[in-house]
Amino acid sequence: MFKPGYHKRQVLTHGIVMAIKITFLGASQQVTGSRYYLEAAGLKLLIDCGMFQERQYLARNWAPFPFDPQQLNGVILTHAHLDHVGTLPRLIAQGYKKPILMTEPTVELATLIMLDSARIQEEDARYKRKRHKKSGHKAPHPVTPLYTTEEAQHTVPLLKGFEYNTPLTLNDHVQLTFLEAGHILGPASLLFEINDGGQIRKLVFSGDIGQNDKPLISDPAKIDTADIVIMESTYGDRNHKEHGPVVDQLETIINDTYKRGGNLVIPTFAVERAQELMYHISELVYADLIPDIPVFMDSPMAVDVTEIFKRYRSYMDQETIKLFQEYEPPLRFPGLSLVRSVEDSKAIKQHKGTAIIMSSSGMCTGGRIKHHLKNNITNPNNTILFVGYQANGTLGQHILRGAKEVRIHGQRWPVNANIAQIQGFSGHGDQEDLINWLGNMNPKPKHVILTHGEADSAKALTQSINAKWQDISIKNPGYQTTLEF
Ligand SMILES: [Zn+2]
């Protein structure tokens, strides 16, 4: 456990140098639960406040924050994904009342995601209690949601949106600039410029770094230079480009499933991935490369997010803006049904013939996808297609790793459906993208701290960074480690 506080250290040749202290409270040698406690120049800041989603780390979501939330000067979000914002309502419930800074689209997306998360947790808790009652199972703890809808609603008024590339003054010594990270709509890398007795020290939190040339999404910004970089490493050991264009892979999988007369079920993240899938399916529909089959987007949140994408078109890449203006709008096409109500969701089961069913959550940890999996996973004509990262310990990862049988809603289901995966869909850059992103910096940073990646990814990325730039010191801190610079 660390003790928060403001420290100074003496450096002989440069007079007083302010220490920059970072405590890693999540996404440390694993992927979810991004939370970094930053102490610098008299400020105590929390960068992201994400939810842990790997089964073995879920208890961390319930642990009290290892600092006093009321003593924080501010919270800053890189982007709206649940693993970056999902425990904010707990911070507010524990007394944090100050502004939470982020980009403008992130305000809207984070609002949706927190409210959706509260609703899913309430629903899951209710469903679990009902199941326990029916089966006579005695749970060791009371089954309650991590936070309620009301607690999530209390968080919303604190969310404040800012533009990219416009420095904000946090105090006399510290400026913050949001830079495009190319990951979802409105994602940011955070550039802190800390004035240390006239010398500017630059600290960058990469946030989640996207791929270049993705549909819908702008490319990540090229950052000139930094002294210290906290960098994600999700795909530090992989190369997406080996697998060919995702739209071609999608076309093959849809047509193969259609020939077998099965359904195609796609667990999808509601933010960005759902819209990107729609974009690619619309390409196939407009080009007549797949048969006329119904396409269900069964996620009220994905439907809401799609509306936000349409409202914040100016944040997308130029090509998409043009499609919206001209013809073939990528988020609306023949055959697509956007499903909100529970009744309509249940009715999908009654559909005869091949359908494409997209639903969330993306790692099958909750939500409506679990019902679609139960309805489809036992039939060998169906395909379950993974288009996103599956963290260790999630239901999605069990299925993807070839489990013969999985547990869903307290029952065992044999896995007979075809299991497929498309890698290139990732909202995260691969090893080459990450190296290129760092390569834009000149001079190179002295310190790179890898986060948001399993140990193997971080290790592979460390080796490839050091193969190019031997002088960069690279660390991969564990949970609750504090580093000082
Ligand atoms: Zn993300």
- For ligand 1, the distance from its centroid to the CA atom of residue 378, given in whole angstroms, is 31
The pLDDT score that the predictor gives to residue 399 is 97
- For ligand 1, the distance from its centroid to the CA atom of residue 462, given in whole angstroms, is 21
Cβ–Cβ < 8 Å for 106, 141: no
- For ligand 1, the distance from its centroid to the CA atom of residue 392, given in whole angstroms, is 16
Question: Which helix H or strand E contains 43, and what residues bound it?
Answer: strand 43-47
* pLDDT-derived band at 134, boundaries 50, 70, 90: confident
User: For 482, what's the count of Cα atoms within 13 Å in the CB-facing half-sphere?
Assistant: 16
- For ligand 1, the distance from its centroid to the CA atom of residue 240, given in whole angstroms, is 17
Give φ, ψ of 379 to 5 degrees: -100, 120
Token pair belonging to 183: 């990951």
- For ligand 1, the distance from its centroid to the CA atom of residue 34, given in whole angstroms, is 10
* pLDDT-derived band at 227, boundaries 50, 70, 90: very high
The stretch 353-379 carries a mean pLDDT of 95
Integer Cα distance of 443 and 428 in angstroms: 24
Cα torsion 199, 48, 236, 448 to 10°: value is 20
Helix/strand/coil for 24: strand
The pLDDT score that the predictor gives to residue 469 is 97
For residue 283, the one-letter residue type is E
What does DSSP assign to residue 241? G
- For ligand 1, the distance from its centroid to the CA atom of residue 183, given in whole angstroms, is 7
* pLDDT-derived band at 7, boundaries 50, 70, 90: very low
Cβ–Cβ < 8 Å for 388, 183: no
- For ligand 1, the distance from its centroid to the CA atom of residue 272, given in whole angstroms, is 10
The pLDDT score that the predictor gives to residue 341 is 95
Q: In sequence order, which residues have a C-beta less than 8 Å from that of residue 274 and are 6 or more positions away?
A: 268, 297, 299, 302, 305, 306, 358, 360
Token pair belonging to 318: 């130029």
Counting every residue written for the chain, the total comes to 485
The pLDDT score that the predictor gives to residue 17 is 60
CA distances from 2 to 65, 66, 67, 478, 482 (A): 11, 7, 8, 13, 7
Domain-wise residue ranges, the chain: 8-238+427-484, 245-421
**What CATH fold (topology level) applies to the domain 245-421?**
Rossmann fold (3.40.50)
Least confident of 2-11, 15-24, 436-445, 450-459: 2-11
- For ligand 1, the distance from its centroid to the CA atom of residue 6, given in whole angstroms, is 30
Instruction: Express each pLDDT in 264-313 by its tens digit.
Output: 999 998 888 999 999 999 999 999 999 999 999 999 989 999 999 989 98
- For ligand 1, the distance from its centroid to the CA atom of residue 334, given in whole angstroms, is 30
Checking if the pLDDT of 20 tops 90, the result is yes
Checking if the pLDDT of 16 tops 70, the result is no
- The pTM score is 0.85
- For ligand 1, the distance from its centroid to the CA atom of residue 61, given in whole angstroms, is 18
Least confident of 134-138, 232-236, 481-485: 134-138
The stretch 351-367 carries a mean pLDDT of 93
- For ligand 1, the distance from its centroid to the CA atom of residue 27, given in whole angstroms, is 11
The pLDDT score that the predictor gives to residue 139 is 73
**What CATH fold (topology level) applies to the domain 8-238+427-484?**
Metallo-beta-lactamase; Chain A (3.60.15)
- For ligand 1, the distance from its centroid to the CA atom of residue 73, given in whole angstroms, is 24
- For ligand 1, the distance from its centroid to the CA atom of residue 208, given in whole angstroms, is 5
The pLDDT score that the predictor gives to residue 2 is 35
For residue 398, the one-letter residue type is H
* pLDDT-derived band at 62, boundaries 50, 70, 90: very high
- For ligand 1, the distance from its centroid to the CA atom of residue 79, given in whole angstroms, is 7
- For ligand 1, the distance from its centroid to the CA atom of residue 31, given in whole angstroms, is 10
The pLDDT score that the predictor gives to residue 404 is 97
